[in-house]
Structure 1
Amino acid sequence: MDKKALFAKISQKSSFLCVGLDTDLTKIPEHLLKEKDPIFAFNKQIIDNTIDQAVAYKPNTAFYEALGPKGWESLHKTLEYIPKDVFTIADAKRGDIGNTSGLYAKAFFEMMDFDSVTVAPYMGIDSVKPFLAFEDKWVILLALTSNEGSQDFQMLETKNGKPFFQEVIEKSQKWGTPDNMMYVVGATRGEKIAEVRKLVPDHFFLVPGVGAQGGSLEEVAKFGMNSNCGLLVNSSRGIIYAGKDKDFGKAAKTEAQKLQTEMEILLDKYCK
């Protein structure tokens, strides 16, 4: 999916919601455990109930990899079920030497047909470039995350007097373009979102941290939105685990609708 198609979907649904499919067997409703494929049965209901609000779905591959071959099968079935005009993100955080990255790229883009994959930039251009060789596919580069340990490296001052995350963003712009590279920017740092937006005015951001992690959607839009929206805001636990009984799908829909309603207002306010 290219940038124009993604923005068209955002405009159509008046939403920039990404639903994180971080599906945990220990947290899904107990009645689903009787299903042949409990993970897919859960994901199917989440998708059915949020498809009117979601412009993207983001399975975190760790939740599927941990289950071995059955988990990969559940992930494949989930991907097949998501409508083709909805953006898909493999939250895999890959990043390795060039030939290995090329195989990761082939796995997620050719074999599984994801639209995008999250990539760690720590090993530099040769670990990222293979992902950028695929037409109409996206690298979502880790830039500024909201986890506690992000302070260990991302905020360190470099010899140029800039924080390390800023160096990563500035250098990586030479690798990709606003048409094939996005950045992960955590929602819990409003002023930092503004800093990143100044550095990359035209790129999309994948923004985790809204909902269960306490990030403010209003702040994200105020500091991060551009004329093409430029945002995919992810909510995982706050939506998919909103309900714990047989009506969990309806509970997920209610939470997705709340976010979409706010997003519609924010698009009108800030997407100019």
Structure 2
Amino acid sequence: MTFTEKLEAAWKNSNSLLMVGLDPDPNRFPPCIQQSKQAIFDFCKGIIDATAPYVCGFKPQIAYFASESAEEQLAALCDYIHKTYPHLPLVLDSKRGDIGTTAEHYAKEAYKRYQADAVTVNPYMGFDSIEPYLAWQNKGVIILCRTSNPGGSDLQFFESSSGEPLYLHVASLVAEKWNRHGQCGLVVGATFPEELKKVRERVGDDVPLLVPGIGAQGGDINSTVQAGKNTRSTGMMINSSRAILYASSGDDWQEAAAAVAMQTRDAINAARG
């Protein structure tokens, strides 16, 4: 099964466009978890088990694991997701951006070591930085387009001689030239719904959008869904991390995470119409 086939099935079978981002911060773990020798794995596993009924996938952020020398815990976590929830896509959020053999090794890291169904990449160095990932024909390549951070406008709004902003140029490159196997997607932030709408119009129905920025970053769910959904009322992986992960720091941390995930899924579904 390809990444997009797995994602389509998850949208349908889970009735959800919500993706949970795994950004583990040990300083925010409940006291009952903090003393564990594999606290990062235990916390993330607990979040996964609590929220799996309400999501279309999980998105671990590699830097949160690497900064704590927890790459082995990340690998074990990815293995757990694949074995326990094989129907849910795993997107490795690494935002790699390099060329040649270096990019080949980054692709191998994502797809082989961590068994990711898809990986986020940075297109700033052009097609050479994307091509090595396309060699893995069944795997997803999710390319930064219009990011949710305020500073994204510094470059992404740079206009060509025709007046087209860079982020729309990237969207066109992906949809028209780079998406050789139909497994490419785009990262477009919920904090900019007008730009999200323009990207959806530019790429059509079949390019999935990874949409960070709801929850702690303040993106509005209704505006996000209306701007980014395709004609099938799917087409998005709407990511929430901190609002779900740290819904409670008490003994009820899993129950609280599940409740917020369910509420977020339901709010997204209500906006889908």
Equivalent residue letter for 1:242: A
Aligned to 2:141, the other structure's residue is in SS state: strand
Structure 1 residue 30 displacement after superposition: 2.1
Q: In 2, are the aligned partners of 1:178 and 1:204 still within 8 Å (CA)?
A: no
Q: In 2, are the aligned partners of 1:14 and 1:263 still within 8 Å (CA)?
A: no
- 1 CA distance for matches of 2:3 and 2:90? 12
Structure 1 residue 29 displacement after superposition: 1.1
Q: In 2, are the aligned partners of 1:91 and 1:118 still within 8 Å (CA)?
A: yes
Counterpart for residue 250 of structure 1: 255
Q: Deviations over 1:69-123 (max 9, x none)?
A: xx00110111111122210011000010121111100111122210011000000
Q: Deviations over 1:44-74 (max 9, x none)?
A: 1101110100111001100011012xx0011
- 2 CA distance for matches of 1:210 and 1:218? 10
Counterpart for residue 213 of structure 1: 217
Structure 1 residue 178 displacement after superposition: 7.5
> Is 1:183 matched up with 2:186?
yes
> Is 1:51 matched up with 2:52?
yes
Q: What are the residue-to-residue correspondences of 1:193-204 with 2, within 5 Å?
A: 193-201=196-204, 202-204=206-208
Structure 1 residue 151 displacement after superposition: 1.6
Structure holding more helix per residue: 2
Q: In 2, are the aligned partners of 1:182 and 1:203 still within 8 Å (CA)?
A: yes
Counterpart for residue 26 of structure 1: 27
- 1 CA distance for matches of 2:267 and 2:180? 29
Q: In 2, are the aligned partners of 1:178 and 1:203 still within 8 Å (CA)?
A: no
**Stretch moving more, 230-239 or 95-104:** 95-104
Which of 77, 91, 95 is the equivalent residue of 2:93?
A: 91
**Stretch moving more, 221-230 or 36-45:** 221-230
Q: In 1, are the aligned partners of 2:137 and 2:181 still within 8 Å (CA)?
A: no
Q: In 2, are the aligned partners of 1:2 and 1:136 still within 8 Å (CA)?
A: yes
Equivalent residue letter for 2:147: T
- 1 CA distance for matches of 2:268 and 2:219? 14
Q: 5+ residue gaps in structure 2?
A: none
Q: What are the residue-to-residue correspondences of 1:9-158 with 2, within 5 Å?
A: 9-68=10-69, 71-82=70-81, 83-158=85-160
- 2 CA distance for matches of 1:178 and 1:194? 24
Structure 1 residue 138 displacement after superposition: 0.5
- 2 CA distance for matches of 1:210 and 1:153? 22
Q: Deviations over 1:224-249 (max 9, x none)?
A: 11134110000000100111112111
Structure 1 residue 171 displacement after superposition: 2.1
- 1 CA distance for matches of 2:181 and 2:29? 37
Equivalent residue letter for 2:235: G
Structure 1 residue 179 displacement after superposition: 2.4
- 2 CA distance for matches of 1:51 and 1:181? 24
Q: In 1, are the aligned partners of 2:51 and 2:261 still within 8 Å (CA)?
A: yes
Structure 1 residue 135 displacement after superposition: 2.5
TM-score computed with the length of structure 1 as normaliser: 0.94
Equivalent residue letter for 1:149: G
Aligned residues: 266
- 2 CA distance for matches of 1:29 and 1:129? 42
Superposition CA RMSD, Å: 1.3
